Amino acid sequence: MRFIRLFLGALILFFDWVFTPKSVKRDVIAQQQVDAETAGLSLYQYKACPFCVKVRRSIKRNALNINTYDAKRCGKSRDELVEGSGQLKVPCLKIEESNGEVRWMFESSDIITYLESRVSTIASAA
């Protein structure tokens, strides 16, 4: 079973590398606005988790500058995830609002929808 997991993980990472999406191109000012909007976001993930790969691909496609933390290989990141969200589940988006409120969002599709809605708000304002 361990061999199968290692093989599938390597396969997922290989295909992610081969088929990496191209980032959207923005002018400098628009990209700075996007970066400012995503400054309080962090993604807790496992490198070879297919749902995490899905979220990372969306981040790459939308040219978002979001910190990622490997909750599997880094004990500190894992502890932060469990302490903050109450569970060890990935992918998890940590959302730190400007008023100091912190929210934790799970489920890859929800995270992608949230990220795309934040980016589209900036794009429509530009």
Q: What is the CATH number of the domain that holds 68?
A: 3.40.30.10
Domain count, the chain: 1
**pLDDT of amino acid 65:** 94
**pLDDT of amino acid 63:** 93
**pLDDT of amino acid 125:** 54
Q: How far is CA 61 from CA 50, 55, 87, 119, 120, in A?
A: 16, 10, 28, 11, 13
Report pTM: 0.86
**pLDDT of amino acid 121:** 66
Residue 31 belongs to domain spanning: 2-125
The segments of the chain whose pLDDT lies below 50 read none
**pLDDT of amino acid 124:** 54
**pLDDT of amino acid 40:** 93
**pLDDT of amino acid 75:** 92
Work out whether strand 92-96 and strand 102-106 pair parallel, antiparallel, or are unpaired: antiparallel
